[in-house]
Structure 1
Amino acid sequence: MMAAVRRFLGLRSKFTSSVNGLNIYFNSRNSPRERAALRRVGTGLCIALGGFAFVYYQHSSSPDRRRAASLRALISPLPAVAAKEKASASGEDEVSLSAHEHRFRLFSSVEFDGQLYMTPLDFIESVTMSEPKKKRFWKSLTKQELDKILSDTPPVWKGSSRLFRNLRERGLIAYTEYLFLLCILTKPHAGFKIAFNMFDADGNQMVDKREFMVLEEIFRKKNEKRKERGGDAESSSQLNVELYGYQGSVSSNVLKKEQPQCEPRSFWDVLKLGARIVLFSDLMEHVPENVTDTTLLVHFFGRKGKSELNFDDFYRFMDNLQTEVLEIEFLSYSKGMTTISEEDFDRILLRYTTVENITGYLENVHQSIPDEKGITFEEFRSFFQFLNNLEDFAIAMQMYNFANRPIGQDEFGRAVYVATGLKLSRHLVNTIFKIFDVDHDDQLSYKEFIGIMKDRLHRGSWGYKGEERFTSFKGCMKKELSAK
């Protein structure tokens, strides 16, 4: 509006000076009647120019124009957002995203100092839903707002299986912590001690904040060793800020060391690899002094970062997280009851897998178990604890395959106990068999069961396969402007 007014005033001053010049010229030569006519013409021209300025302002203020102007103004200061449509692989502003990176950006809702964060509620939704309930807009926090949020974080000894549900939006989870939490959800209790010992660099059975921060360095190094993401350097650098909190590549002696040429299968394997090649001493030298505190850091080490974490508290936190996610899934189907139906149990098992004909499995259960007994939460939880031991169970089951022995319910229950130490109830084992007994011969379809359960264990990569594409604001703008 002000720009339009300035243009109008500039034109008016020029016109006025011209009219004044004409007045001086005509005052000396024209009659009073002619001079009055000229004044009326001048007034009409001023009104016409004013109308032109008003129309120009309305045009420039239309929704489309305002949106384009707003986007141009926001390109520099705001972090990048994903385009609505999947971008082509050849776009110069597109950067390759892993499935986890894409999902983190999809569910994160908070931004501080250029870095993206999830809230505890965002994290819960990301592991229990295929997509966010509503469109996410990244809320930028001030330092005062950040401090207020973190002040609500309870100490680790007050943790419970409702921690994330109680905190809801009052917390921050960084991308590297998100990966760590995903690892927890899929690991057996026996692996908790291994995880703790990996952080305990000095072997004193306590983990301090600096030792825990090595986790972030390991994931950063993994990110730096990835193949080029594609896209321009600006977009790639921006993505590093959003996910890892740094810009560009961090050079250090760690990267120059000779390391085994093996590709880890998961981020959990990255952690084990980091421990195996004894990187902790070097990595700790590169842990930044001034890091943004998060909910996990405050929960584990206090507001001043001076507390230490023992194994009992660490174990309790990991067990509580697994329980909390399972409770949320169970309650979403039980609707206040103490059990869920066998069909609902089937739905939960298959909801994050690549199985297309879920109806066929549901029909299997409906016909095979006409009298519904229900699955209790303890049965539900014991099954998913077994699922976290799936690799050990698969080895035990292969013994039956090698011997060409059929896998009945007794053999299945025995293999579960030998491999995991868990005793599944007879009703639960029977329900599993009815779901996967495709031939109706009371024998488990082993290959199909293992394949689907591996998919379910990792929740089908949460619905995202392979690599997604990240498109910067600049790339979105180019496409928008070229389409007009």
Structure 2
Amino acid sequence: MAAVRRCRDLLRSLRPILWKEGIFTKQPVPRRSLYMIAAASGCTLAIHWFYKQGQDIVPVVHARETEKNEPTKEKATHRELRFRQFASVEYQGNIYMTPQDFLESVTEESPRPRIGRIRLTAQDVESMLRQTPSRSRGSNKLFRNLHDKGIISYTEYLFLLCVLTSGKVVSSTVSKEPRSGFRIAFNMFDTDGNQIVDKKEFLVLERVFSKQPDSEDGEGKKKEVLSKVIPAVETRIQDTSLMVHFFGKYGNDVLKYDDFHRFMENLQSEVIELEFLEFSKGMNTISEVDFAHILLRYTLLDRSEIEECIARVKDRIQQEKGITFQEFKKFCQFLNNLDDFSIAMKMYTYAQQPVSQDEFQRAVRVCTGFTLAKDVVNTVFQIFDSDGDGHLSSPEFIAIMKDRLHRGSRSHLMHTQGTWEAFRQCIRNEMKSN
């Protein structure tokens, strides 16, 4: 009854206004209009009452404040993102690369167009593993021959990237300490020191990258960023093409150092050859301009800066001599020893002195045991010698070539940003580290 009285009082107070606006006339007001006005008045009173009580009329969704101690999901690293970008197959909820995917990830800036990932069945995976050749049939065309008939896990992707950047690939007749990079990599797997690696030891790699820290601190805690990339530690690790190639179908074979070295050398040669063939178009040589294009891929230089470097090569090298595959391969092997080269260049860095071609060659010979072709060194100098004085800055060269060495796995994200400041910061960091 109180509500009715309030409606009646409200209508009486509104009557002069409604009369003035022409809503009420001397004619009798239809009962339907009175009902509508009464309903509107009732809603008005209800709103007024809720407001007085401090309640919300319509449920309001408030943003939940994040607790200070609540762990946040860690951002995926660039290598994780790049793996997911190129991985084209999925099996039992985990993402895998094919051998073709891996080759593209280290030779291309972006994957080939595709519609989603292919979901493999158990029969598909079994067929792939049956087609995987044994170590005795390994070659520098292993990944190209497998093409899309194989699977590579994320941890194996990281391992293969390490293979591509391992140094000391020169012959023992040239270097007093041959293959040290390969030997160190092998010894990391050889946990019991018996000079052979079995499947159980190789799987340590999987567990190292799959293990979650026990600490609850949000600072260094590895979150489940790779929940669909790396299988859980507790579950049985899926056999892959690489495991079958190393340890056989039943996992009973063992890997000796010579086998391991041969695989690493073959993989390096395969990737180098793939890059060379991309530009040689079936010819025996690539041009100096093509060589410059290959070197400047995956670096921090933006497009305009790369074009400037290419223009310098075109202007200063009037007569094209060409670079053979062996000359190109030697230079790539030299890049795998870039850390040793940076040590050899320390005296020039401390003295802030530029490096001549003869001094460059001497440093290469000291850290690798061989010298590079004169045309190759000359092309390198034309790329980086912006003022044409016949010298180059070793920190600048090393900083750019380190990104080239990692073939997009480290600098690709920064390269797409194309910021000159990022490049300068990289140079400063390299100079400090030297």
Q: TM-score, normalised by structure 2?
A: 0.72
Matched, 1:150 2:129: yes
Structure 2 unaligned segments of length 5 or more: list them.
1-70, 169-179, 416-434
1:336 Cα deviation (Å)?
0.5
Residue 392 of structure 1 is matched in structure 2 by 340
CA 1:191–1:388 in structure 2 vs 1: closer, same or farther (change >3 Å)? Answer: same
Q: 1:192 aligns with which of 182, 194, 204?
A: 182
Residue 214 of structure 1 is matched in structure 2 by 204
Structure 2 counterparts to residues 348-367 of structure 1, below 5 A: 348-356=294-302, 357-367=305-315
Greater relative contact order, per chain length (Cα 8 Å cut-off, separation 6+): 1
CA 1:225–1:463 in structure 2 vs 1: closer, same or farther (change >3 Å)? Answer: farther
Equivalent AA in structure 2 for residue 200 of structure 1: D
1:367-389 CA-to-partner distances (Å, cap 9, x unmatched) read 11100001111111111111111
Residue 340 of structure 1 is matched in structure 2 by 286
Greater C-alpha Rg: 2
Residue 79 of structure 2 is matched in structure 1 by 100
Please give the alpha-carbon distance, in whole angstroms, between the structure 2 residues aligned to 1:314 and 1:209: 13
1:223 Cα deviation (Å)?
7.1
Q: 1:329 aligns with which of 266, 269, 275?
A: 275
- Report how many residues are paired: 331
Residue 437 of structure 1 is matched in structure 2 by 385
Structure 2 counterparts to residues 85-484 of structure 1, below 5 A: 96-189=75-168, 190-221=180-211, 237=224, 239-246=225-232, 290-356=236-302, 357-403=305-351, 406-460=354-408, 461=410, 463-465=412-414
User: Is the partner of 1:144 in helix, strand or coil?
Assistant: helix
1:454 Cα deviation (Å)?
1.6
* Range that drifts further, 443-452 or 339-348: 443-452
1:291 Cα deviation (Å)?
2.4
Please give the alpha-carbon distance, in whole angstroms, between the structure 2 residues aligned to 1:432 and 1:225: 48
Task: Among all aligned residue pairs of Structure 1 and Structure 2, give the percentage whose two residues are the same amino acid.
Answer: 52
User: Is the partner of 1:171 in helix, strand or coil?
Assistant: coil
Equivalent AA in structure 2 for residue 327 of structure 1: E
CA 1:335–1:406 in structure 2 vs 1: closer, same or farther (change >3 Å)? Answer: same
Please give the alpha-carbon distance, in whole angstroms, between the structure 2 residues aligned to 1:224 and 1:374: 56
Q: TM-score, normalised by structure 1?
A: 0.64
1:222 Cα deviation (Å)?
6.5
1:428-484 CA-to-partner distances (Å, cap 9, x unmatched) read 111111111111111123232122112212234252249xxxxxxxxxxxxxxxxxx
User: Is the partner of 1:243 in helix, strand or coil?
Assistant: coil
Structure 1 unaligned segments of length 5 or more: list them.
1-91, 251-285, 467-484
User: Is the partner of 2:150 in helix, strand or coil?
Assistant: coil
CA 1:444–1:95 in structure 2 vs 1: closer, same or farther (change >3 Å)? Answer: closer
CA 1:397–1:226 in structure 2 vs 1: closer, same or farther (change >3 Å)? Answer: farther
Query: Are the aligned partners of 1:386 and 1:420 in contact in 2 as well (CA < 8 Å)?
Result: yes
Please give the alpha-carbon distance, in whole angstroms, between the structure 1 residues aligned to 2:289 and 2:101: 28
User: Is the partner of 2:131 in helix, strand or coil?
Assistant: coil
